[in-house]
Homo-oligomer: A and B are copies of this chain.
């Protein structure tokens, strides 16, 4: 695993356009180094990009993602900050638990209609066999 990447390498690895990566930077979600004019992404930048894309898959907006990423890097020093921070973590957890419940529900429904399909399929195949 290399320790630095250019924009095209990352765009290919994650199947996104360079435009998208630059856009994330313009929104403050990435801060790559520069080699002259060109962007140079560290391993940490690459992890950050992974986090962004994971957030996107979960349907979070870029500003929500920015907020979450800031939590990863924050180093609150005072008690009040820490307690505020723990509250935000708590809220995020509730939010994610809700999504997980939504997923479980949807998966259960998928299983149900899958069952029905399989039943119908067996009936149809049996009917064909009976014809022979």
Q: List residues of chain A with CB under 8 Å of any chain B CB.
A: 54, 56-60, 68, 71-72, 76, 78-79, 82-83, 85-86, 89, 92-93, 96-100, 102-107, 109-110, 113-114, 117-118, 120-121, 124-125
B113 & A82 in contact (Cβ 8 Å cutoff): no
Q: What's the minimum C-beta distance from A90 to chain B, rounded to whole angstroms?
A: 8
Interface SS, A side: helix
Contact A72 B113, CB 8 Å, known A58-B59, A120-B82: yes
Q: What's the minimum C-beta distance from A78 to chain B, rounded to whole angstroms?
A: 8
A110 partner, pick from B92, B113, B120, B124, beta carbons under 8 A: B92
Chain B residues positioned under 8 Å from A99 (CB to CB): 57-58, 99, 103
